[in-house]
Amino acid sequence: MRYGRRSNWRWIAVPVLFFATAVRAVPPEAAPPPTAAAATVRADGPHELKTPDAVLREVEDCASDAGSWAFRERRDWLRFLLGGGLSILLGAAWLWSWRRFFRRGGSSRRNWKVEVLKSLVPPLSVLAVVISCFFFSQPLLNSLPRRWGELDLRLFYAAVVLVVAWGALDAVSVLDRRIRRFAARDDNALDDLTVGMIGATLKVAIAVTTLLFVGQSIFDLNITALLAGAGVVGLAVALAAKETLSNFFGTLVIVADAPFRLGDRIQAGGVDGIVEHVGMRSSRIRTADDSVCTMPNSVLTNSVVCRSSSRGCLKHTLDLGLTYGTTPRQLEQALGILHEVMDDFHGPDDAERRPRIFFSGFGASSVNLKAIVWLKAPSFAAEEPLLDELHREIFRRFGEAGLEFAYPTRTLYLRNSNSPGER
């Protein structure tokens, strides 16, 4: 029962002392290759199980070697701890000073240089801290076996690549925001959908390139085998997610063909509304009653899409009917009143969006006028007060001019069959 009388602290120290085993181990290139007889015995002979006492003795030897190594390298340990701590403090102070500068007005100058600098300060600070800590850890790494030193070097390179990728993603985000603001203006033909797809594609490309570079160039992973396996898995996923892939390719068709832009009013698939968002799977369209319809992109691309209004202007068609007692002079007066009310309504009209007002024809009980006007409203909520004002003004001006609106009427002519000369 000698094993049961041992104290429990040795079992707690096993994870810590495992690292000591690696420190004490002989590098693999220095170990002599096993002979054929030894390999045969190792492969075919019986394996002797170590007793718990033997394991604990081996752990104690490793702990002793680790303690000796730590004591021997105590100056390098102290240099690493002091240098690494100072590097972290200086990096935090540097980052805090830049953030304070941006909060106090450095970011008020809305130019791309300030935005790029603001996005690159955090990754640059982290990169400086990583390089500084690695520099102070060099004496300790040189005292470790070669395989552990190589592993630490690979981890350092991987950390540098990840920080650089972080900075690249932040720079792409700044570029994406700048282009989106430019695309939101009406003085260019840049499409919001294309801009969003470009930003997302650049981010995915940076992430995939970073992972492949770290795996293949730093850790020597067999990326070809991984890609082959991913191809088989991708085929299975493609068969299982057929509809999702169909919607994704529908998004690509929308971006490439550009049948509409964000903010345009369209009619497609029985839905009439303003396009608010185009995602990788579906699009959101807001209707006049403030309902949001989500339509799969595959359905949207396979439907007839009618764009009735461009972004920032909503098309409105107004049909008016005057009584048949209206004289030609009054008809001309009515057309003039409509032009006076609708021309440059709440701002100057564009050359291609001027109101179109004309005498549309003869109805069953009225002479019909038709007006097509583009209201300067980006949404249905902004359009409602403009329509209310427009209709009130037309009603008031027609009343002052004595113009009568028609309503459905029917005139019956009765013929007297008992009159002289009738049979």
Give the tens place of pLDDT for each residue, 205-244: 898 888 888 887 788 777 666 666 666 666 666 565 667 7
For the entire predicted model, the pTM comes to 0.53
Beta strands in 194-291 (DSSP E): 265-268, 271-278, 282-287
**Domains 259-309 and 314-400 belong to one CATH topology:** no
| Range of 96-105, 331-340, 406-415 with top mean pLDDT | 331-340
Give the tens place of pLDDT for each residue, 103-153: 776 544 457 778 888 888 899 889 999 898 888 888 877 777 777 767 778
- Long-range (24+ apart) CB contacts under 8 A made by 135-138 are 135/83, 136/79, 136/80, 136/83, 136/84, 136/87, 137/80, 137/84
pLDDT value, residue 65: 66
Tell me the C-alpha distance between 224 and 216, whole Å.
9
pLDDT band of residue 42 (cuts 50, 70, 90) is very low
Tell me the C-alpha distance between 276 and 259, whole Å.
14
Give the tens place of pLDDT for each residue, 259-310: 888 888 899 888 999 988 888 788 899 998 888 999 998 888 888 888 888 7
| Range of 26-40, 100-114, 343-357, 408-422 with top mean pLDDT | 343-357
Inter-axis angle of helices 192-213 and 146-183, nearest 10: 180
- The fold adopted by the segment(s) 314-400 is Alpha-Beta Plaits (3.30.70)
Chain mean pLDDT for the chain: 77
| Domain residue extents for the chain | 75-221, 259-309, 314-400
What are 272's strand-pairing partners? 267
Amino acid at 26: V
pLDDT > 70? residue 45: no
Enter the CATH code of domain 259-309.
Answer: 2.30.30.60
Contacts of residue 278, Cβ cutoff 8 Å, sequence gap at least 6: 193, 196, 251, 254, 262, 297
Tell me the C-alpha distance between 375 and 345, whole Å.
8
Q: What percent of the chain has pLDDT over 90?
A: 18
At 137, list the tokens.
């850890």
Amino acid at 386: L
